Structure 1
């Protein structure tokens, strides 16, 4: 009994450690061995459609449009389009106020969701490069140039920019989000050297129009569409010098809801896109997806099983200090995570709370993905 419980504990601990650290260490190591390069041309200036998705964004739209109009890119080569997904506030009126400056409003009726709204809007575009942005994202002045210079390389199909946050140290959510995105962007840099990203930054990414794939309305496009680009034989890379800024979520409830929606959309997108990758024989991308995403989605299962195994070991093997220690450490960690709700200014409790939120969202997403249909729409208060 003891040996079985010990073996199970070790396997589960290894799975958890791999999900947390193994993938990033493996990717970093392999990226050092990679010889892939990117041909960048600073004077490469294709026609660009800058597409902003919006639902009830009256609080941010004017600032977003002024920021976009101020971007350093030839005015005759960039078309700014706002796709309003059935907005019911003053979003559309604000956009119409900028029509004299060349900004186009595309209104999609019926609240179809961000992915489907873009599906409909993109049919009419003729520009070479499409940039997807959100109404709340503020770009550095040179962000568009930094994105499109990579398309001078014919092997590049999609480019993800870098996301930073305005308020990344003002709350425990901000601090935890900063740490999480530093981790994610280190992975993106390494994956970019290996030719394959397993997801783009949703508020700042660019792609060749001819590669666009009409996606199901209920998938997360910044996760699913890069997979479809890879399935078409093109590279998806990370451009760390193309920077956009966003606000962080303000509390645990907002973060949980946002993470749940993103993870569920990712799982749905994975089920949709995996057969395409298999048909395209993109084995490297498939391995990356399982290593990076699937293992992380499964981590709450590993955590629950480890807790139960060590609990059983602590009571069944009363002489075992190991199982008692593991059980106590887990109990303390989860306790700190729960206390982080009430003491958010405490850094340790705050980070523990963020870890708990991420894995609770993953567990809930796993259950919901296989039990109910995912809504296509999004809430501007949490995303």
Structure 2
């Protein structure tokens, strides 16, 4: 019957999206194991780098971020900081004006991050440009680790690892985000091992400056837009696990939901704009990875995880023999949704088991993906970033 086919198809798509794709990437990586050993670069070989930081109401982070940038293990005369403000209503602009050896573009009007980046890029004269966020702190060797991979002329972008600072006092939002980014980092690492990853995370990635294309003003996900443009030009995107950008997680589940809905709307905008990434004739590797890593997770899985328990229940109702297989699958699905329900009830608690965090956060992400789809199709998602509060914001 059709109901059985739909049920197992839904199970298969979900398992492939979250586990099967990783296994397909992991197998060739274990066989390959041959890494191109890059020779250590001396100080004279390192290229000049411009670090671009867009800031909106970031007064709490400006000085720590500035000091973090100065402390990077990279020749100071080769690091150029460009800060661009975007309609600040706090003391961000005043603090930046007091700093030395930076270039400041002060915009009193709120234009959005995409246009802010465009403004900053007009001033960049260095061969490499690095993008990072004001509330993100970089590991000491991150800049060197990223730049080294540009020795390969086929590499157009190098992304670092996003890491969520989390401890026992953090709530479900931070812990869930931390688990998600460890999982996402594993995928990017395996994708990079097998050729190219699909995109970099906005907290830390570098590009060849000459590959930058001005961003449309209404762009929601600037990091994906920049990454896609580099892929179109025939270059690879590499991932460096040891180059770390760390930040605090969202303060509450509600803050994280708001952030995820905006990102989800940006995902659908990116899909519409860059549907050509799915063309296997142009680039079979990227088409496969984009479909497996992004499209399945954005479009197929969110409605599927809602449909699966209903399909299973219908099968049990129709199956007069009370098949042990479908009874066990229903029990497993019920356990998962039970953990989701518990997670919802205790979402504001600090001490939450991973048995609860992973199901609840995963389910929440998929629900927010559906909400983001609705907001995108109705044209209600602004490209202006509405900041989510993070733990260190209060």
Fold shared, TM-score > 0.5 on shorter chain? yes
Report SS of the residue matched to 1:81.
Answer: strand
Give CA deviations for 1:93-130 in whole Å, capped at 9, x if unaligned. Answer: 011110xx201211234312112210222122111111
Query: Take 1:160 and 1:280, find their aligned partners in 2: how far apart are those partners?
Result: 26
Q: Does 1:193 align with 2:200?
A: no
Work out the CA distance in 2 between the residues paired with 1:373 and 1:37. 46
- 1:164 aligned counterpart, secondary structure: strand
Matched, 1:12 2:14: no
Q: Please identify, of 103-112 and 62-71, the stretch whose mean Cα deviation from structure 2 is larger.
A: 103-112
When the two chains are superposed, the root-mean-square deviation of aligned CA atoms in Å is: 2.2
Q: Aligned residue for 1:119?
A: 118
1:211/1:382 CA distance change after superposition, 3 Å: farther
Map Cα deviations across residues 16-35 of structure 1 (whole Å, 9 max, x no partner): 10111011111112334556
Whether the 8 Å CA contact 1:260–1:362 is kept in 2: the answer is yes
Aligned residue pairs total 379
Distance 1:169 1:17, change over 3 A: farther
- Three-state SS of the structure 2 residue aligned to 1:341 is helix
Instruction: Summarize the alignment of residues 28-107 of structure 1 with structure 2, pairs less than 5 Å apart.
Output: 28-33=26-31, 37=36, 39=38, 41-43=40-42, 44-98=45-99, 101-107=100-106
Output the CA distance in 1 between the equivalents of 2:192 and 2:12. Answer: 26
Which residue of the other structure, out of 297, 312, 315, is the alignment partner of 1:313?
315
TM-score, scaled to structure 1: 0.91
Whether 2:376 is the aligned partner of 1:377: answer no
User: Of residues 352, 358, 365 in structure 2, which corresponds to 1:346?
Assistant: 352
- Indicate which of 304, 307, 315 corresponds to 2:306: 304
Q: Is the 8 A contact 1:252 1:357 kept in 2?
A: no
The answer for unaligned runs of 5 or more in structure 1 is none
TM-score (normalizing by structure 2): 0.89
- Trace 1:142-181 onto structure 2 (pairs within 5 A): 142-167=141-166, 169-171=168-170, 172-181=172-181
Deviations 1:311-338 (A, max 9, x none): 3223344543454554454344223213
Summarize deviations over 1:353-379 as a string: whole Å, max 9, x none. Answer: 111211111121222222325311112
* CA distance in 2 between partners of 1:228 and 1:255 (Å): 28
Aligned CA distance change for structure 1 residues 81 and 157 (closer, same or farther; 3 Å)? same
Contact 1:218 1:374 in 2 (8 A): no
Q: CA deviation at 1:209?
A: 0.5
Residues 279/122 of structure 1: CA separation in 2 closer, same or farther (3 Å cut): farther
Distance in 2, Cα, partners of 1:40 & 1:219? 38
**1:229-281: CA deviation from partner (whole Å, max 9, x where unpaired):** 11111111011121121101122212211122122212211221233674981
Aligned to 1:257: 258
Stretches of structure 2 that go unaligned for 5 or more consecutive residues are none
Matches within 5 A, 1:258-277: 258-275=259-276
User: 1:360, 1:317 → 2: CA distance?
Assistant: 30
1:335 and 2:314 correspond: no
Counterpart-to-counterpart distance in 1, 2:108 and 2:352: 45
Residue 320 to residue 4, structure 1, CA distance change in 2 (3 Å): farther
Q: Secondary structure at the match of 1:340?
A: helix
SS at match of 1:281: coil
Distance change in 2, residues 1:42/1:71 (3 Å): same
